[in-house]
Structure 1
Amino acid sequence: MSTEMATIRVERVINASREQVWSVLADGWAYANWVVGASAIRDVEAGWPAVGAQIHHSVGAWPVLLSDSTSVLECEPQTSLTMQARGWPLGEATISLTLEPLDGRTRVTMTEDATRGPGRFVPRPLRQAAIVPRNRESLRRLSLIAENRAPRD
C-alpha cells in the first residue's frame, strides 16, 4: 500500500489568496489558533517554517497538558508544508498541507496519519474517525484567519 493511500485527507477552498494562507502557516505563533488540539505555543524557532525548524507547543487543557513539538520536514513556500507533530505518549504524525491557487482563492489539501508510537496501531477506520473531523475544523479555522488577514504589500 502506498503512503498516499494510507494518509487521511481533507481539503477546503479558502476565500483568500495563496499568499494570505501561507502567511498564516508561516506564522508559528498562530499555530495554536488554527490547529485543533494545540493549546499554547511555548516557542517558535528562528527560521520557521524552514526545514528543521520547530514549534514547541502544549496539547490538551490545564491541568493536563502535554508539552512537545512540531518540526518541518519539507517546505516549498506558498506551495507546501510537511511537518512531524509529536504528542507523546500518543506518538507522532506526519502532516502535509498543499496550497493550490484558484482565481484568487486557495484550495488547501491536508493529509495526516500516525507514523510513530502507539497511535499507528489504532485501526485506520478509528484513526480516520478522529483525524477527519479534527482536520476539517483545523482548515475551517485556518480559513477564518487567512480570509481576515490583510494581504502584505
Structure 2
Amino acid sequence: MSTVSQLFKSPSADIWRVIADGWLYSGWVVGASRIRDVDAEWPGLGAQLHHSVGAWPLVINDSTRVTAVQPGRALELVARGWPMGEAKVEITLEDRGNQCLVTMAEDAIRGPGKLMPKFLRAPLISARNRETLRRLELMAIGGAGK
C-alpha cells in the first residue's frame, strides 16, 4: 500500500462530515470528475457511490463501494475505474484536539493497474493522494458537508 498522512487544522468531526457526504466525493478525490448517484446508506458497509473518472468528454462511469467502516474514524473502499482496474483505499482519522491526523493508504488490487510494478505505481498513487488530502482539508476547513 502507498501511504500518505497529513495533519489537518480541523477536528475529525469536520473531516468526517465531508467524507460522509458522498455527493462531495468528486470535490476532494483526485480523478473523480462527477458523482452520478449515492446510496442513501453512504458511508455504511456495502454502500456505493457512482462516479465518473476522467476529463470530459473522455469519462468512464464506475463506482466505489464501502468494504469496512468505523464511523468518524475509518473508511475502507474498493474504488473502481475500469479499464484501469480497482484499488483498495483505507482512510483513517486520528483526533489530536482541534487537529486530526488523516492517513490514506491505497494500492491496485485488480486489473491493468496491478500489472504496473509497485515501485512505479506507488509514487504516482502517493502524489495523487497527497493532493486528495489537501483538497479534503480545504473542504473541511470551509465547512463542506454541514
**Does the 8 Å contact 1:67/1:87 carry over to 2?**
yes
Tell me, yes or no, if structure 1 residue 88 matches structure 2 residue 85.
no
Q: Which residue of 2 aligns with 1:14?
A: 8
Q: Partners in 1 of 2:28 and 2:145 — Cα distance?
A: 18
- Is 1:60 the counterpart of 2:54 in the alignment? yes
Deviation at 1:106, TM superposition (A): 0.5
CA distance in 2, matches of 1:150, 1:60: 23
Whole-angstrom CA distance in 2 between matches of 1:62 and 1:136: 24
Aligned to 1:31: 25
Aligned 8 A contact 2:2 2:123 in 1: no
TM-superposed CA distance for 1:129, in Å, is: 2.1
Could you list the structure 1 runs, at least 4 aligned residues long, displaced by more than 4 angstroms after superposition.
Answer: none
| Residue 105 of structure 2 is aligned to residue 117 of structure 1 | no
| TM-score under structure 2 length normalisation | 0.97
TM-superposition CA deviations, 1:18-38 (whole Å, max 9, x none)? 100000000000000000000
Cα RMSD, aligned residues only: 1.2
- Give unmatched runs, 5+ long, in structure 2: none
Task: Report the counterpart of residue 105 of structure 1 in structure 2.
Answer: 99
- Number of paired residues? 146
Secondary structure of 1:61's aligned partner: coil
Contact preservation (8 Å) 2:28, 2:133: yes
Separation in 2, partners of 1:134, 1:42: 22
Q: Deviations over 1:37-63 (max 9, x none)?
A: 000000001110001100100000111
* Separation (CA, whole Å) in 2 of partners of 1:90 and 1:52: 22
Distance 1:117 1:46 in 2: 29
Aligned mates of 1:151, 1:69 — CA distance in 2 = 21
CA displacement at 1:150 relative to structure 2 = 7.3
State the partner residue of 1:79.
Answer: 73
Unaligned runs of at least 5 residues, structure 1: 1-6
Identical pairs, percent = 51
